[in-house]
Amino acid sequence: MAGENIITVNQDNFETEVNKSNVPVLVDFWAEWCGPCKMIAPALGELATEYAGKAKVAKVNVDDNQDLAVKFRVSGIPAVFMVKNGEVIDQLVGARSKKDFKAMIDRAIA
């Protein structure tokens, strides 16, 4: 099933799962009430499966993790960040195509 490889991250596990990850991490800031967030979810799920072992896809619920949303200066969702070695190297805001997110991952693992 698409999405089974997506990691749910929060304040408690963000450092371990994202900042200290040995592979780049695509971090999706989303909320349950966000329609565009739900629209991109299947594409992110597919990418999590396709890139398993080379990159990770993580989701952060902004309603439950406002501290992380503030830290990343999230002003609109979905907001998708590419984090490599603890640093944000790329970001996209708004519903985008799978191709756009794939390109972010490809640049990060190049």
**To the nearest whole percent, how much of the chain has pLDDT over 90?**
95
60 to each of 24, 110, how far by Cα in Å? 16, 25
36-40 long-range CB contacts below 8 Å, 24 or more apart? 36/77, 36/78, 36/94, 36/95, 37/77, 37/78, 37/95, 39/95, 40/78, 40/80, 40/95, 40/96, 40/101
Using 50, 70 and 90 to split pLDDT, how confident is the model at 4? confident
Which member of 26, 37, 57, 58 is catalytic?
Answer: 37
The pLDDT of residue 64 is above 50: yes
Q: Is 37 a catalytic residue?
A: yes
Which member of 9, 34, 48, 80 is catalytic?
Answer: 34
Tens digit of pLDDT for each residue in 33-54? 999 999 999 999 999 999 999 9
Q: Is 58 a catalytic residue?
A: no
What pLDDT score was predicted for residue 47?
A: 96
Stretch 58-72: mean pLDDT, rounded?
A: 96
CATH class (in words) of the domain with range 7-109:
alpha beta
The pLDDT of residue 6 is above 90: yes
Using 50, 70 and 90 to split pLDDT, how confident is the model at 23? very high
**The whole model's pTM is what?**
0.94
The pLDDT of residue 1 is above 70: no
